[in-house]
Structure 1
Amino acid sequence: MPLQKIRNFFELEAAAGITLGISALIAIIIANSPLSGAFDNWLHYEIPVQIGTWSHTADVKHWVKDGLMAIFFFHVGLEIKKEIMEGELSDAKKLALPVFGALGGMIMPALIFIAVIMLEGHQDLIKGWTIPVATDIAFAVAAIAVVAKNIPSSLKIFLLTLAVVDDLGAVVLIAALYSSNIDYVALSWSLGIFVVLLALPRLGIRRPWVFVMGGLVMWAFMLQSGFHPTLAGVMTAITVPLKSNSDAFESPLEDLHDDFSAWVKYAIMPLFALTHAGFSFSGMGISTILSPLVVAIVCGLSIGKPLGVLGMVYFSKIIGIARIPENITMRQLLGVGALCGIGFTMSLFLGGLSYADKGEIISNELKMGVFLGSIISGIIGIALLAKSNEKA
C-alpha cells in the first residue's frame, strides 16, 4: 500500500515541483540549524577527478553546478529539439505566440531589474540582470497543475512552449555572458567532438549511448575551455537523432529523454536546490528585504514577467504575426505570465554565475529575492487562473 502511494505521487504532474520545493525547504532549515557548519563544510569539500591525462578538482557545490546541471541542460536540449522537429515549435504560426511571449518575459524583467538597481545607485549589481529572465519549468508546471481543471489545454501548451523557449534564451545568455579566459585548444577539441557527433547519424551510427559518451568527453574539454560546461549538454542534445535505423529502438532522442527524465526531476534538480538554495536568516530584517538587489529581483519576476509576456503577446497579435486562441482570455495570459515569474532554480543558477565574485551578503540577498519573487509570482498566477475556465 505505501509503495502504491509513492508510485501514485510520482505520477502526478506536480510531483517534480513538490520535490524541488521540499529540497529547497530542507536547505533553508539546515542553513538555520546547528548543522549549518557541517553542511557548509560538505558543500566546500573538494573532490579531485582524474581520467588519463585529464584532471579537475572542484568542491561538491561546483560539481553539482558544472557537472550535474550539464545533464539538466542536456535533457532540456532534447526537449527543445523534439519540439522543433515535430512538436509545438515546428509550426511557425503556433511558435510565434510563445516566442514573442518569451521575449517579452525576458526583456521586461531585465529592464525593470536594471531600472531599480540604477535608481538605487548600485551599478555594480547590474550584471545580475539575467536573474529575473529565467523560468523554472518544474515549478511552473506544478503551479499550473493546481488549476489545471479550470483552464483550456491550449493554455498549458502555451506555458510549456514559452518555458522551453525561455530555457533556450538562458542557454544563449550563458554562452554569451559567462565565458572567460578562453583556452582555444580545449575549445577546438570540444567543437571537433561536436562535429563528429553531428556526422554519426549520416554514417548510420544512431545508438543513444554513443552520443552520451561523446557528450561526456565534449563536456570535459568545455570545462577546460573557459566556456560554461553546461553548454556541452545542449550541444550534445543537438546531435542526437530523432529517428532510429534499428528495430531495437524507435528514437534515440526519445529514449534518452525518457532515460534521464526521472534522474533530472527527482535527483539532479532537487540536489541543485539542496546545495544552492539554503541561506541563513541570521542578521536579516526589513532592511534585507528592502535591499536594492532583493527589490530588483522581486519586481523583475513578479511584475516584469507578466507584463512582458502579456505585452509582447498582444504586440504579436496587433502586427499580425500570431493569433491568440479564442478560448484564452487576457486574465489567463496574465496568469501564465505570472507563473513564468517563478524563476527559482534557473534564477539561482544565473545569479550564481552573475555574482560568483561577491560575498555572502549578496548571495543571501540573491536567494531571498528569488524566493520572494517566485512565491509572489506563483500566488498571483494561481489566483488569476483559479477563477478562469474554458468558457471564460
Structure 2
Amino acid sequence: VYSLDINFTYLIISFSILITLIIANKLFKIESIIYYLISGLCLWYFVNLSGVHSTISGIILAIAIPSKSYTCRKSTLDRLQCLLVPINSLFIIPLFAFANTGIELTYNIDLSSAKPLYMGIILGLSVGKPLGIMLFCYLGNLLKFTEKPKNISWMAIFFVSLIAGIGFTMSIFVSELAFIHNLTLINIAKMAILISASISIAASFITISIYIYVCKLKNKTTNLTSKYLIS
C-alpha cells in the first residue's frame, strides 16, 4: 500500500526465500538460530530491493521460524525471543522512538483541513484499539479459537486494552510512510498520536484507580492486586 515502486524480480526472490525457510522448518525440521538469522538477512536485503519496506521482512521471517521444538528442547522461536527481547526492549525501541518522535511545533499549521486525519488517529488509538482488543478477545474465546487464562479476568484484559492506546512507535512509523512527501501531515499525525497516548494514560490511570477504590470499598478479593495494577 505504501510502496512507491515495486520490483517484481526481487519480490519473487524474497518469496522464494520465504518458501525455502518454511520448507526448512516443516520438512527438514531445521532449528538452528544461525540458519534463520542468515536467511533473514538475505530476506531483508531482497525485500528492501523489491520496493516493499524492509521491516516487512521481519514479519514474514517470523512466520517461518519454528514455534515448537522437534527435539524436546526450547523452540527456535523461544530461544530467539530470550536472545532478542532484552536487546529490543533496551536499545532498539528506545532508539526508534528517539529518532522518530521529533515534532516540529509551528503556529501556521492549518488543522481545519486535516480534521479527519487527527480525529481519526485520536479516536482510532484511544477508542478503536480498546474496542478492537476487547471484541476480538471475546469473539476468539467465544468461538474457541483462543482460550482466556483462568487467572485473568475480563477486567484485566480491559485495562490492558486501555493501556494499548499508549503505544505510538508503529503509529508514527506508518504515518511517515503514508505521508512521506508531506511534512505538515506527518507533524499533525505525530501530535495526534501523542495526544491519544496522553488520553490513554489518563483513562488507564483513572479507570484502574476507580476499580481499586471500589474493590476496597466492597472488601472483595480480586485477581488484580493493587501492586500489579499500579505497575
Q: 2:126–2:162: 8 Å Cα contact kept in structure 1?
A: yes
Query: Shift in Å at residue 274 of structure 1?
Result: 1.2
* Amino acid across the alignment from 2:93: M
Q: In structure 2, what is the equivalent of residue 366 of structure 1?
A: 189
Q: 1:197–1:239: 8 Å Cα contact kept in structure 2?
A: yes
What are the equivalent positions in structure 2 for 1:174-193 lying under 5 Å apart? 177-193=1-17
Q: In structure 2, what is the equivalent of residue 243 of structure 1?
A: 69
Q: In structure 2, what is the equivalent of residue 254 of structure 1?
A: 78
**2:202 aligned with 1:379:** yes
| Separation in structure 2 between the aligned mates of residue 376 and residue 220 of structure 1, nearest angstrom | 39
Taking structure 2 as the reference length, what is the TM-score of the superposition? Answer: 0.75
| Separation in structure 1 between the aligned mates of residue 38 and residue 152 of structure 2, nearest angstrom | 46
Query: Shift in Å at residue 371 of structure 1?
Result: 0.4
| Separation in structure 2 between the aligned mates of residue 307 and residue 205 of structure 1, nearest angstrom | 40
Question: Structure 1's 326 and 290: CA in aligned 2 closer, same or farther, altered over 3 A?
Answer: farther
What are the equivalent positions in structure 2 for 1:294-333 lying under 5 Å apart? 294-310=118-134, 316=139, 321=143, 328=153
| Separation in structure 1 between the aligned mates of residue 134 and residue 29 of structure 2, nearest angstrom | 46
Deviations 1:313-346 (A, max 9, x none): 66x49x95369879736x6555333222223101
| Separation in structure 2 between the aligned mates of residue 251 and residue 326 of structure 1, nearest angstrom | 25
Query: Shift in Å at residue 363 of structure 1?
Result: 1.6
Deviations 1:58-98 (A, max 9, x none): xxxxxxxxxxxxxxxxxxxxxxxxxxxxxxxxxxxxxxxxx
| Separation in structure 2 between the aligned mates of residue 300 and residue 257 of structure 1, nearest angstrom | 29
Give the % identical residues: 26
| Separation in structure 1 between the aligned mates of residue 157 and residue 62 of structure 2, nearest angstrom | 31
**Larger relative CO (CA 8 A, sep 6+): 1 or 2?**
1
* Amino acid across the alignment from 1:339: I
| Separation in structure 2 between the aligned mates of residue 268 and residue 195 of structure 1, nearest angstrom | 28
Q: In structure 2, what is the equivalent of residue 211 of structure 1?
A: 36
**2:72 aligned with 1:267:** no
Question: Structure 1's 332 and 383: CA in aligned 2 closer, same or farther, altered over 3 A?
Answer: farther
Aligned length: 209
**2:94 aligned with 1:230:** no
Q: In structure 2, what is the equivalent of residue 84 of structure 1?
A: none
Q: 2:8–2:50: 8 Å Cα contact kept in structure 1?
A: yes
Query: Shift in Å at residue 310 of structure 1?
Result: 4.6
* Amino acid across the alignment from 2:62: A
Q: 2:168–2:197: 8 Å Cα contact kept in structure 1?
A: yes
Residue segments in structure 2 that go unaligned for 5+ positions in a row: 213-221, 225-231
* Amino acid across the alignment from 1:212: L
Q: In structure 2, what is the equivalent of residue 156 of structure 1?
A: none
| Separation in structure 2 between the aligned mates of residue 381 and residue 366 of structure 1, nearest angstrom | 22
Q: In structure 1, what is the equivalent of residue 218 of structure 2?
A: none
| Separation in structure 1 between the aligned mates of residue 41 and residue 137 of structure 2, nearest angstrom | 39
Q: In structure 1, what is the equivalent of residue 162 of structure 2?
A: 338
Q: In structure 2, what is the equivalent of residue 36 of structure 1?
A: none
Taking structure 1 as the reference length, what is the TM-score of the superposition? Answer: 0.47
| 3-state DSSP of counterpart to 2:36 | helix
Q: 1:212–1:236: 8 Å Cα contact kept in structure 2?
A: no
Question: Structure 1's 336 and 207: CA in aligned 2 closer, same or farther, altered over 3 A?
Answer: closer
* Amino acid across the alignment from 1:258: C
* Amino acid across the alignment from 1:215: G
| Separation in structure 2 between the aligned mates of residue 257 and residue 332 of structure 1, nearest angstrom | 25
Deviations 1:244-285 (A, max 9, x none): 54x9x6432211111111121111111111111011224378
Question: Structure 1's 186 and 311: CA in aligned 2 closer, same or farther, altered over 3 A?
Answer: closer
